[in-house]
């Protein structure tokens, strides 16, 4: 009763500041016991499934983001940002980072629908675009270079690891180390059983399973998204641009790239 009475007289800004500070202290306390796990990658690569699954089975702190910046909305991410900017690089605290990659055309299409309002200017439920019109909007409005620039703009920038500096393993995953930073990059296309073993070993877990989340079939745009995926074919110049990109050629083999070409190009 007394505590609740006192709370009523504390300004909202101070309450928020106390809550923010408290979350950061819990994060720092956990990080002293176990290295925090940072699920850090571009959008629409299945990261929420990995994030929620690791949260369940890993007793240390687990964070998730697509970008880092000085204007963080999550207290724990502000700690990570401070580590990258105020610590002498490389970061002097242990941290495990997991980044996923996905075949870029499918990823771009998925991200386009996820951010429908941003790219079309209309909320999905209010839209009346045909599939042909959505194709034109996608080709003209979407930033198709996100996969090729994301690692340089994020992993290299903040953690000084250049994933393009060494060949990517044909096993579908690779690990990188920079002092106390351990980075795991793996393909979303790997079988779940393989991903489970890779993550379990990376985090030194006795047991790990995947809990699938954020599936596009459950979204309000799912029917249009599926129709787009199965009906739309892209012009050769777009296919060649993506298939010749630094990202695609680094993480994927020739056969995989040819399969994508055949899937999306006009016959």
Each domain of the chain, given as residue ranges in start order, spans 34-264
Angle between helices 236-243 and 254-264 (to 10 degrees): 160
* Residue carrying structure tokens 């839209």: 127
Other residues' Cβ atoms within 10 Å of the Cβ of residue 81: 18
Residue 216 has pLDDT above 60, yes or no: no
Other residues' Cβ atoms within 10 Å of the Cβ of residue 65: 20
Residue 71 has pLDDT above 90, yes or no: no
Residue 2 has pLDDT above 60, yes or no: no
The rounded mean pLDDT for the chain is 92
pLDDT in tens, 73-90: 899 999 999 999 887 777
Distance CA 41, CA 100 (A): 6
User: 115 pLDDT band (50/70/90 cuts)?
Assistant: very high
pLDDT of res. 72: 85
pLDDT of res. 7: 52
Q: Pull the structure tokens for residue 5.
A: 């009475």
In degrees and rounded to multiples of 5, residue 99 shows phi and psi of: -125, 135
Distance CA 72, CA 83 (A): 13
The domain 34-264 is placed in CATH, from the list 1.20.58, 2.60.40, 3.40.50, 3.40.1350, at: 3.40.50
Confidence (pTM): 0.92
pLDDT of res. 9: 55
C-alpha distances in angstroms, 242 versus 21, 111, 255?
Answer: 44, 15, 15
Residue 219 has pLDDT above 90, yes or no: no
């Amino acid at each position: 009763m007394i505590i609740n009475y006192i709370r009523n007289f504390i300004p909202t800004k101070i309450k928020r500041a106390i809550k923010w500070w408290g979350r950061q202290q819990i994060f720092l306390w956990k990080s002293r016991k176990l290295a925090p796990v940072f699920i850090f990658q571009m959008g629409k690569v299945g990261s929420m499934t990995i994030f929620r699954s690791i949260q369940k089975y890993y007793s240390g702190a687990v964070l998730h983001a697509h970008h880092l910046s000085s204007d963080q909305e999550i207290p724990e991410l502000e700690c990570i940002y401070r580590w990258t900017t105020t610590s002498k690089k490389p970061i002097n605290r242990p941290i495990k980072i997991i980044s996923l990659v996905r075949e870029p055309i499918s990823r771009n299409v998925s991200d386009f629908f996820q951010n429908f309002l941003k790219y079309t200017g209309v909320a999905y439920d209010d839209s009346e675009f045909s599939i042909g019109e959505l194709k034109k909007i996608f080709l003209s409005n979407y930033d198709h270079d996100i996969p090729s620039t994301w690692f340089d703009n994020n992993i290299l920038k903040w953690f000084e690891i250049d994933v393009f500096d060494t060949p990517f393993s044909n096993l579908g995953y690779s690990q990188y180390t920079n002092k106390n930073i351990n980075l795991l990059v793996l393909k979303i296309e790997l079988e779940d059983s393989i991903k489970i073993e890779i993550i379990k070993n990376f985090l030194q877990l006795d047991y790990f399973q995947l809990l699938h989340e954020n599936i596009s079939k459950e979204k309000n745009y799912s029917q249009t998204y599926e129709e787009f995926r199965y009906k739309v074919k892209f012009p050769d110049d777009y296919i060649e641009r993506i298939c010749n990109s630094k990202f695609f050629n680094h993480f994927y083999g020739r056969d995989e790239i040819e399969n994508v070409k055949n899937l999306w190009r006009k016959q």
